Amino acid sequence: MECKGCKLHETRTQIVMPRGSRNPQVVFIGEAPGENEDIQGKPFVGRAGKLLDEWITYLGLNENDYAITNVVWCRPPKNRYPEQDEISACQKNVLTYFLDVKPSFVVPLGKLATEFMLDTRIRSMTSHAGEILVIDKFFKLCPLFHPAYFLRNHGDWKPMLENLKKELKK
């Protein structure tokens, strides 16, 4: 895939495409690739990715059950937040991906990914983290704090995952 839809193509090493199952029950969606992801060409391979892997194990998912992607597929310089024009430029790729894999659950990781999936601004993640939302009867959404949040704050993430864990067992 080649993309020059926004200025991120000028500074990226490569496009970081989704990874995981082509028929996932769950798609985790983060914000943007970081340095490790830009180098390796895979989403969530750094420290936050290792914690996400722990969450996936805790949820009882195997490699055929999930996929991982980001709102934008190119690394913003210095790991800054993606700008609105960059998000808009990548939106078609992300939505096409979701239409292709048709997950039952989408799990946005962090505020930016949650706002992207809900197509609206939210005040904070606290009121949404772990909540199960039905989106147009096509899939369920379960926003979670980004794994990096727990790397910084060293909190217990298991309670946040309980609703999702219960829903996945149904």
Evaluate whether residue 151 is within a structural domain.
Answer: yes
CA distance 71 to 100: 16
Evaluate whether residue 2 is within a structural domain.
Answer: no
Report in angstroms the alpha-carbon separations of 73 from 6, 17, 56, 135, 151.
Answer: 11, 6, 21, 23, 23
- The amino acid that residue 55 corresponds to is W
Structure confidence by residue, pLDDT tens digits, 111-121: 999 999 999 99
Evaluate whether residue 1 is within a structural domain.
Answer: no
Evaluate whether residue 95 is within a structural domain.
Answer: yes
- Residue 105, SS3 per DSSP: strand
Q: What is the DSSP string of 58-76?
A: HTT--TTTEEEEESSSSPP
Question: Which pLDDT does position 154 carry in this prediction?
Answer: 87
Evaluate whether residue 47 is within a structural domain.
Answer: yes
Show the domain range for 115: 7-169
**Rg, the chain, Cα only:** 15
Question: Which pLDDT does position 55 carry in this prediction?
Answer: 98
Structure confidence by residue, pLDDT tens digits, 68-81: 999 999 999 998 99
Evaluate whether residue 59 is within a structural domain.
Answer: yes
Nearest alpha-carbon partner for 160 in 52, 70, 71, 72: 52
Question: Which pLDDT does position 98 carry in this prediction?
Answer: 94
CATH assignment of the domain containing 161: 3.40.470.10
Q: Structural domain tally of the chain?
A: 1
Evaluate whether residue 107 is within a structural domain.
Answer: yes
The sign of the CA dihedral 15, 16, 19, 25 is negative
In order along the chain (170 residues), what is the average pLDDT of each group of 10 residues? 87 95 97 95 95 97 97 94 95 94 96 95 92 85 96 93 92
Q: What global pTM score does this model have?
A: 0.95
Contact by Cβ (8 Å): 123, 115: no
CA distance 125 to 58: 21
